Amino acid sequence: MLAKQIYDVVIVGSGPGGVAAAIEAKKAGADDVLIIERDTELGGILLQCIHNGFGLELLKEDLPGPGYAQHFIEEMLSLHVEVLLNTMVMDITPQRHLFLSSKEHGYVEIEARSIVLAMGCRERTRAQIRIPGYRPNGIYTAGTAQRWVNVEGYMPGKEVVILGSGDIGMIMARRLTFEGAHVERVLEIQSYLSGLSRNLVQCLQDYDIPLQLNHTIKRILGKNRVEAIEAVQVDEKWNFVPGTEEIIPCDTLLLSVGLIPENELSRKAGVKLDPITSGPYVDETFQTNVPGIFAAGNVVHVYDLVDWVSEAGFSAGKSAAKYAIALRNAEARYTPLVAGKNVRYVVPHKLDKSTLEAEDVRLQMRVTRPIEQPVWVEVHDGENLITRKAERYVRPGEMVTVVLKTKNYADVAKASKLTIDINPR
């Protein structure tokens, strides 16, 4: 079971953005911080990015992705952040209710004083770049292949062509080569590299994998499994240059054609998205247009350096904690007034405790039924009586009142709610 029904800060996603937000939320004074991850482990995409190059900015160390992730996860766990794994956040309302689904915990609704969205991003697929041809097996996004090769331990191809010169594609070119596959070439429709030039050197040139700029795929051949692709050169307007077609036999096509922030959930919560970044509009505290909902990491816009994702997470976590604490304090100012035994309703519905410090407050109510005998009108906090008033009888037609005095302030300040009962004397 979950420890709480209401949390200060709930973080959706445990990549570097989410983990950093959890750390900083705790440090900034949030009490109940919950991080929710749909996968079997904490860490996000970094767990499959086993190559080096992470942490140079923040940790001054050249770490592989899983090591970078673990560094911050350990810090987060030492701060007693509550963790839910194998749990998908299905829905978020603008009022910050979250619906979670998991095998272990069932389908549950929780509330958060503030939320940090850290769902990361997903990869663009074939249709978004519209390659005609069959729909055989053997066309994967580079990230899917990365998960298979590095985490699950299976090779999805032997002869590989990569479309797009994004970083993940170039990194996978090297990975597949390391594991005995043959990467035929990388095709890029633009006239320039879309990833980092260091990856061009370290991942392609070092292993003599050709990169063809101004080239794309005209057609995919093979009905059940990819058998070949037809590559073609393009002009500045991306029109095919006739006569430059070339059939390249291969069994696998990897797509590395870009990342898009993952914002299905954000939309449900009423978060406004920027059509250019595909991520939420945020202010400098990483708050979205929905008060109390923050966002950090690739869910906002696609980063090329994880260190900066962590930085954004820290900032969002801190702001989220601040928001939650302010809300909690505001909640603490008020005490709800509850109609108890024989009472139909009480006005006011809630009491600002600070008012009682300065002046008396009269509570007005009506009873559910006539009681034709002497009664006590009692105000209590669930355990202790705070004040009471005697009446000779009560009737629904006649309003009943009782006054809370300034001298009751100390007792009221401690109460989480006040109940008014009417009992026969």
Chain residues binding ligand FAD by CB under 6 A are 12-18, 36-39, 44-46, 49, 88-89, 118-121, 123, 143, 146, 167-168, 171, 259, 262, 265, 297-299, 303-306, 309
Cβ–Cβ < 8 Å for 164, 255: yes
- Give the number of other CB atoms < 10 A from CB of residue 173: 28
Is residue 213 a contact point for other proteins (CB under 8 A)?
Answer: no
Is residue 279 a contact point for other proteins (CB under 8 A)?
Answer: no
Is residue 278 a contact point for other proteins (CB under 8 A)?
Answer: no
Residue of 153, 242, 243, 397 that binds other proteins (CB under 8 A): 153
Pairing of strands 228-233, 246-249: antiparallel
Among the listed residues 402, 412, 403, the one whose alpha carbon sits nearest the alpha carbon of residue 354: 412
Residue of 29, 79, 80, 105 that binds other proteins (CB under 8 A): 105
Count of residues of this chain found to bind other proteins when the rule CB under 8 A is applied: 82
Nearer to ligand FAD, 188 or 262 (CB): 262
Separation of alpha carbons 358 and 115, rounded Å: 36
Site for other proteins in 23-42 (CB under 8 A): 38, 40-41
CB of 262 vs ligand FAD, minimal distance in Å: 6
- Give the number of other CB atoms < 10 A from CB of residue 259: 23
397 dihedral zone (left: phi>0; alpha: psi -120 to 50; beta): alpha
Nearer to ligand FAD, 311 or 411 (CB): 311
Q: Which two tokens stand for residue 115?
A: 């939320």
Is residue 245 a contact point for other proteins (CB under 8 A)?
Answer: no
Pick what 306 binds: other proteins, ligand FAD, none; C-beta below 5 to 8 Å, kind-dependent.
ligand FAD
Q: Map residue 36 onto helix, strand or coil.
A: strand
Identify which range of 20-28, 136-144, 325-333, 406-414 contacts other proteins by CB under 8 A: 136-144
CB of 315 vs other proteins, minimal distance in Å: 21
| Residue type at 339 in one-letter notation | A
CB of 105 vs other proteins, minimal distance in Å: 8
The alpha-carbon radius of gyration of the chain (Å, integer) is 30
Among the listed residues 231, 229, 212, 207, the one whose alpha carbon sits nearest the alpha carbon of residue 220: 229
Is residue 156 a contact point for other proteins (CB under 8 A)?
Answer: yes
Nearer to ligand FAD, 27 or 147 (CB): 147
Pick what 56 binds: other proteins, ligand FAD, none; C-beta below 5 to 8 Å, kind-dependent.
other proteins
CB proximity list for 217: less than 8 A, separation 6 or greater: 131, 161, 163, 187, 229, 230, 231, 232, 253
Is residue 158 a contact point for other proteins (CB under 8 A)?
Answer: yes
Among the listed residues 8, 49, 92, the one whose alpha carbon sits nearest the alpha carbon of residue 267: 92
Identify which range of 56-64, 285-293, 358-366, 408-416 contacts other proteins by CB under 8 A: 56-64
Nearer to other proteins, 155 or 327 (CB): 155
Nearer to ligand FAD, 14 or 387 (CB): 14
Nearer to ligand FAD, 13 or 340 (CB): 13
Site for other proteins in 82-101 (CB under 8 A): 86, 88, 90-91, 99, 101
Nearer to other proteins, 63 or 300 (CB): 63
CB of 20 vs other proteins, minimal distance in Å: 18
Residue of 2, 78, 95, 201 that binds other proteins (CB under 8 A): 201
Is residue 69 a contact point for other proteins (CB under 8 A)?
Answer: yes
Could you list the beta-strand ranges (E) of 234-370: 246-249, 252-255, 259-261, 293-295, 334-339, 343-347, 350-352, 361-367
CB of 280 vs other proteins, minimal distance in Å: 15
CB of 347 vs other proteins, minimal distance in Å: 32
Nearer to other proteins, 66 or 340 (CB): 66
- Give the number of other CB atoms < 10 A from CB of residue 56: 15
Nearer to other proteins, 27 or 51 (CB): 51
CB of 253 vs ligand FAD, minimal distance in Å: 16
Pairing of strands 97-102, 246-249: unpaired
Separation of alpha carbons 379 and 402, rounded Å: 8
Exposed, middle or buried: residue 356 (CB in 10 Å: 0-12, 13-18, 19+)? Answer: buried
What are the b/e assignments for 70-96, b being 16+ CB within 10 Å? bbbbebbeeeebebbeebebeebeeeb
